Each structure stands twice: as structure tokens, then as C-alpha cells.
Amino acid sequence: MNKYELALVVSAKIEDDARAAVVDKAKDYITRAGGTVTEVEEWGKKKLAYEIRHMSEGFYYFIQFDAASQVPAEVEQDVRIMDNVLRFLCVKKDEA
């Protein structure tokens, strides 16, 4: 099992419960692909470096999870089609 981190930038124009649903759906994608979510960090609303879909702010979430090497590709495939996710990035964390 490797350690990974999924970074999500979620639209700031949706309600709090809808944002929570987006994060829960991403966590569900991870568990369905065979991963185990270990931690979820919420950084809150931040200004974006450039506008994305006419929005200048977004909510940042970082989801740490343990999974086999094929899981991040499956998760990215699912997250890519989510409506309220402006940007995402899945990276392997160092074992240090």
C-alpha cells in the first residue's frame, strides 16, 4: 500500500452541505476503488491564482489515503467528471 494525497478545489458558489457532499463523494470513490481514507484537511476558501469558470475563489480540501498503485488513476477518472470540482491533483506522498 502506498500513501497518496488528493487535492480538490471545490466551487465557492455552492452551499456548505453541497460542498460536504462533493468531498464525501470523492472519499466514496477512493473506498470503492480499494483505498482507505486516513485524513481529510479542509483549508477553507482561498483566492485562486487565476479565474476558473468565471470564479476567483474556491474551497481547498486535501484527502490523504492508502491504496494500491492503480487506485489513483481510477479515482482521477471519477473525480474528473464531478460538477463542482474546479481542479484536482492526486500525488504519491514520500515515505519519509
- Domains of the chain, by residue range, sit at 2-92
Domain 2-92 classified CATH 3.30.70.60? yes
Instruction: Give the global pTM.
Output: 0.91
Strands (E), 2-78: 2-11, 36-52, 55-67
Tell me the per-residue pLDDT of 26-77, one tens digit each, with 9 for 90 and over: 999 999 999 999 999 999 999 999 999 999 999 999 999 999 999 999 999 9
Mean pLDDT throughout 76-82? 94
Neighbours of 41 (CB within 10 A): 11
What 3-state class would DSSP assign to 93? coil
